[in-house]
Amino acid sequence: MIAIAPARAGEGALLARLHASAFDRPWSAEELEQMLALVQAVTLVARGDDGLNPCGFVLARCVCGEAEILSIAVDPRSRRRGIARKLMETLIESLNEAQARDLFLEVDIANSAALGLYRGLGFVEAGRRRGYYAGAGGPSDALVLRLDLEAGAAAGFNMAQKPL
């Protein structure tokens, strides 16, 4: 089973390892530690329910009711087990508690795994930045996606509470 809990101060190196396992351009432990320390940051880590084996994280920030995902990653060995969805659902619950109105993110249009995740949660396209990412196969567009948290909360969005 997987448990989701807030990251703790001092876990920048752990987040950096997970980030490096998922992205070509890794963020440093110091950068991630600084992000963790931001008062507006919400950072959740997925671990085995013994509290060990961190396998994914989501990092967001929320300013004046508007939230934004800065990064989400799941270790390649732990993918397709619903861990990212559970991280996102827990994040959305926490943002609902904080009465945030909207959740935004940016995603490469070529990232079909991430697009499937976000569409399944109800995100819709809010904008497009043409040629924003420099991919190996040439420039690729960024989609700006938005989730209406107020509408989701009013409709009774609730985490499925199913064990993974």
Ligand X SMILES: CC(C)(COP(=O)(O)OP(=O)(O)OC[C@H]1O[C@@H](n2cnc3c(N)ncnc32)[C@H](O)[C@@H]1OP(=O)(O)O)[C@@H](O)C(=O)NCCC(=O)NCCS
32: nearest Cα among 1, 54, 64, 2: 54
141: helix, strand or coil: strand
The phi and psi torsions of 43 (rounded to 5 degrees) equal: -125, 125
CB contact at 8 A, 128 and 104: no
**Which residues inside 120-139 make contact with ligand X, applying CB under 6 A?**
120
Could you tell me if 95 and 121 are in contact, meaning their C-beta atoms sit under 8 angstroms apart?
Answer: no
Q: Taking the complex as a whole, how short is the minimal distance between the CB of residue 101 and ligand X, in angstroms?
A: 21
Which of 17, 61, 81, 146 is close enough to bind ligand X by CB under 6 A? 81
Nearer to ligand X (CB atom), residue 28 or residue 99: 28
User: What's the gap between Cα 62 and its chain centre?
Assistant: 13
Tell me: does residue 114 bind ligand X (CB under 6 A). yes
- Nearest approach, Cβ of residue 154 and ligand X (Å): 24
Which of 38, 113, 151, 155 binds ligand X (CB under 6 A)? It is 113
Write out the residues near ligand X by the rule CB under 6 A: 22-23, 72-74, 79-85, 107, 111-114, 116-117, 120
